[in-house]
Structure 1
Amino acid sequence: MSKEQTANEVKYKITLKLLGILLRNGLITSEEYEKIDALNRQTFLPQLAKVYV
């Protein structure tokens, strides 16, 4: 895995953590979480995304 891909994996993982916090605090809905996660997957192209779920 290249440095760029590793950085994208880390960025994606951070966004998942932040989204989880927003969801738990009621600031976003489950549907919004799924939509944002889909956009993040397109942006960061994480190879390990299936592992994170």
Structure 2
Amino acid sequence: MGDKKSPTRPKRQSKPSSDDGYWDCSVCTFRNSAEAFKCMMCDVRKGTSTRRL
């Protein structure tokens, strides 16, 4: 029996699609600074869904 090597796994990232310090607007996709509570381009609040009921 030879040495069993564990498969290499990529390192997990806490936020895979966004950089620290920024958030992407869910409506216009503009990248805003983390301090902004609403989008600088379209004035939509951070975390607002695009779904209409």
Whether the TM-score (by the shorter chain) exceeds 0.5 is no
Band of TM-score, shorter chain: under 0.3
Name the structure with the higher helix share: 1
Who wins on radius of gyration, i.e. which is larger?
2
Q: With a CA cutoff of 8 Å and minimum separation of 6, indicate the structure with the bigger relative contact order.
A: 1
